[in-house]
Amino acid sequence: MARKKVIITCAVTGSVHTPTMSPYLPVTPDEIATQAIDAAEAGASILHLHARDPQSGRPSADPAVFMQFLPRIKQACDAVINISTGGSSVMTLDDRLAAALRAEPEMCSLNMGSMNFGLFPALDRYTAWQHDWEPQLLEATRSTIFKNTFADMEDILKRLGEGCGTRFEFECYDVGHLYTLAHFRDSGLVAGPLFIQFVFGVLGGIGADPENLTHMKRIADKLFGDSYDFSVLAAGRHQMPMISMAAAMGGNVRVGLEDSLMLGRGELARSNADQVRRIRTVLDALSLDVATPAEARSMLALKG
């Protein structure tokens, strides 16, 4: 059987990194739109999007802010829009869903369990924060649960999945999350083709070790057979090694400044497109073709 093409997802800004950490982190609607469009031109077929307060750069759930960049991205490129429902671990579920319910996108993220979500080393690394909210937010994550109860997940599946025809990037941070997804498949709330994002290297989730990727894939194969595609994201310096391994194993890849601010050792990525181009050199070396947005839509049965 011919090897499927590789879907590149680009997670443009997220809610974990903060402006002090990189001058290239897109913050304003204009920066988010520009970097998203450039990433799509570089080969990303899915754009995973969060919003930030335009003045402070703080993660924002305000649909009005999303609406300052979503139409521009849609007009400029054909990439699949994927709106985060994870938002930030300090937001309420209603806040996290507001933009997606307004935009009814083709895709949304869906986090498959509650967990600690740690980025603690960053607290010690920076001495001159640009904004007071940055260390405060990072400190708050020490005592906050990233809450995704069974009821929360069911709510998202019903309101966005059944209600809007949205399909999901199922974010699985550990093996148990795969079993939770299988539970929802068994209960009839989700059906293939599933797009499962294996997440490595978040403190509180599974570590970024190659053995863990083979194990996640082995269990996903057992639970979902040929009714799923997997993709990999890994935090920080683990990004490029883990996603390269995923590509070699038949998977898809996620890049973006949400997951890592770096391009390589000691070098900040100057844009999201930089990371898309970097993983494309790996895919080229592996003789793998990149999926267009239309091909991604067909592979994942998106509403288009």
> Exposure string (b/e) for 244-259, b if CB count within 10 Å is 16 or more?
bbbbeeebbbbbbbbb
Please choose which of Zn ion, ligand KMH, none residue 202 contacts, taking the beta carbon within 5 to 8 angstroms, the exact cut-off set by kind.
ligand KMH
Q: Is 174 in the site for ligand KMH (CB under 6 A)?
A: no
The site string for Zn ion over 95-124 (x = CB under 5 A, - otherwise) reads ------------------------------
- φ/ψ of residue 268, rounded to 5: -70, 140
Residue 193 preceded by cis peptide, ω within 30: yes
User: Which of 240, 288 has the CB closer to ligand KMH?
Assistant: 240
Tokens standing for residue 15: 């809610």
Whose Cβ is closer to ligand KMH: residue 17's or residue 280's? 17
Could you give the dihedral angle defined by the CA atoms of residues 138, 232, 165 and 221, in that order, rounded to the nearest 10 degrees? -130
Q: Which is nearer to ligand KMH, 14 or 161 (CB)?
A: 14
Output 168 or 223, the one with its CB closest to Zn ion: 168
d(CA 304, CA 299): 12
* Region 75-114 residues binding ligand KMH, contact defined as CB under 6 A: 84-86, 109, 111
Query: Considering the rule CB under 5 A, would residue 84 count as an interface residue with Zn ion?
Result: yes
Quote the least distance from Cβ 225 to ligand KMH, whole Å. 25
Rg, the chain, Cα only: 18
HSE (side-chain half, CA atoms, 13 Å) at 260: 29
Query: For binding to Zn ion (CB under 5 A), which residues are involved?
Result: 14, 84
Footprint of ligand KMH on this chain (CB under 6 A)? 11, 14, 16, 84-86, 109, 111, 171, 199, 202, 258
